[in-house]
C-alpha cells in the first residue's frame, strides 16, 4: 500500500483524487493544513507523513488576478512547486504536479503534444510553465501533468465555484445564456483526470504528460451538450471572446493530445461527451440517460 498525500484536497480535482487513491493510504491536506507559499509550512505538513507520492493540485488559478498580482502568481505557481518538488526529492517521494493547456499560445491549430514548444500569453500561463520547469528539474521521478478545461461535481475553490453550477444557475435566472464560441479546448471531468493520475503516479515513469478527455469543442458547444442532456430550454447564444473586453490574452485553441500516455499504453481518458454525461449522473438529483 502506497502512502499518497493530496495537496488541495478540498478542491474540485483534489477531492476526486482522494477518491481515486482510496485503495492506498491516502491523506488529504487542505489550504488550512498546508500553505504552499510558505516553505516552513510545506515541511511541517509533509515530513511527518513520509509520503511516497504527493499530488499537488493547489495553485493560484484566478487568471485575471494573476495579471494584477504577478508576484503572487510566481510565488504560488512557480516557487511553491519548486519547494514541494525539492522536499519530495529529499523524502524519496514522487511529486505529481498539475499544469495547464494555457502554456500554449493557440497558434498551432492542431492538438498539442508534449514536445511542442510552449508560448504562454498571460501571467498565469507563464507562472505555471515556470513551475513545470522547476518540478521536472528537481527529480527525474517527478511528473508534470497538463490538463484542460476542468469541471466537476464540486466547486473549484480557486475560481470561486463550479462551471456547471454557475451556468445552470444562469440558465434558471436569465432568458438568454451567452457563452464563448471561439475558444477551442477539451473540457475534462476531474473524476476522469483523477483516475488517470492514479494510474500514472503508481505505474508510470517520470516526465511531462498531457491528460485530457478526448475530442474538443468550445465552451458554447459544451454548454449546448449540457443543456441537451438536462433538457434545459433556456436560449443559448454564442459570443466571441473579443466581445468580453477581457484584459487577459487567452489561447484561442488549446487542445491537448495525450501522446505520451498513448505511447505508454496508459491513456485511460474517454470522449468528453461521455465524461459530461457520467458527471451529471453523479450530481445529486440529476437524471441523465446512460
Q: Annotated active-site positions, please? A: 124
* Alpha-carbon span 54 to 57, nearest angstrom: 10
- For residues 66 and 122, the answer to whether their CB atoms sit within 8 Å is yes
Q: What DSSP assignment string belongs to the chain?
A: --EEEEETTTSHHHHHHHHHTTTSEEEEE-TTT--TT-HHHHHHHHGGG--SEEEE------HHHHHH-HHHHHIIIIIHHHHHHHHHHHHT-EEEEEEEGGGS-S-S-S-B-TTSPP---SHHHHHHHHHHHHHHHH-TT-EEEEE-SEE-SS-BGGGTB-HHHHHHHHHHH-SEEEEE-S-EE--EEHHHHHHHHHHHHHHPPSEEEE---BS-EEHHHHHHHHHHHHT--SEEEEE-GGGG--SS---SB--B--HHHHHHT-----BHHHHHHHHHHHSTT-----
Amino acid at each position: 500500500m502506497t502512502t499518497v498525500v493530496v495537496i488541495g484536497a478540498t478542491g474540485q480535482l483534489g477531492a476526486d483524487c482522494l477518491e481515486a487513491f482510496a485503495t492506498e493510504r491516502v491523506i488529504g491536506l487542505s489550504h488550512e493544513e498546508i500553505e504552499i507559499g510558505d516553505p516552513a509550512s510545506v515541511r511541517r505538513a509533509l515530513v511527518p507523513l513520509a509520503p511516497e507520492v504527493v499530488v499537488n493540485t493547489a495553485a493560484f488559478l484566478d487568471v485575471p488576478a494573476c495579471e494584477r498580482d504577478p508576484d503572487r502568481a510566481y510565488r504560488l505557481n512557480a516557487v511553491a512547486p519548486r519547494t514541494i518538488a525539492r522536499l519530495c526529492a529529499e523524502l524519496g517521494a514522487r511529486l505529481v504536479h498539475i499544469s495547464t493547456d494555457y502554456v500554449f499560445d493557440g497558434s498551432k491549430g492542431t492538438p498539442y503534444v508534449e514536445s511542442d514548444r510552449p508560448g504562454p500569453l498571460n501571467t498565469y500561463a507563464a507562472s505555471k510553465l515556470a513551475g513545470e520547469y522547476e518540478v521536472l528539474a528537481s527529480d527525474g521521478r517527478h511528473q508534470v501533468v497538463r490538463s484542460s478545461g476542468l469541471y466537476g461535481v464540486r466547486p473549484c475553490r480557486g475560481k470561486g465555484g463550479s462551471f456547471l453550477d454557475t451556468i445552470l444557475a444562469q440558465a434558471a435566472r436569465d432568458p438568454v445564456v451567452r457563452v464563448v464560441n471561439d475558444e477551442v479546448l477539451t473540457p475534462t471531468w476531474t473524476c476522469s483526470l483523477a483516475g488517470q493520475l492514479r494510474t500514472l503516479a503508481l505505474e508510470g515513469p517520470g516526465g511531462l504528460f498531457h491528460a485530457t478527455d478526448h475530442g474538443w469543442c468550445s465552451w458554447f458547444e459544451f454548454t449546448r451538450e449540457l443543456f441537451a442532456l438536462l433538457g434545459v430550454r433556456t436560449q443559448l447564444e454564442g459570443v466571441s471572446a473579443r466581445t468580453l473586453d477581457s484584459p487577459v490574452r487567452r489561447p484561442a485553441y488549446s487542445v491537448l493530445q495525450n501522446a505520451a500516455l498513448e505511447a505508454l499504453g496508459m491513456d485511460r481518458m474517454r470522449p468528453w461527451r461521455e465524461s459530461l454525461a457520467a458527471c451529471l449522473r453523479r450530481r445529486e438529483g440529476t437524471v441523465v440517460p446512460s
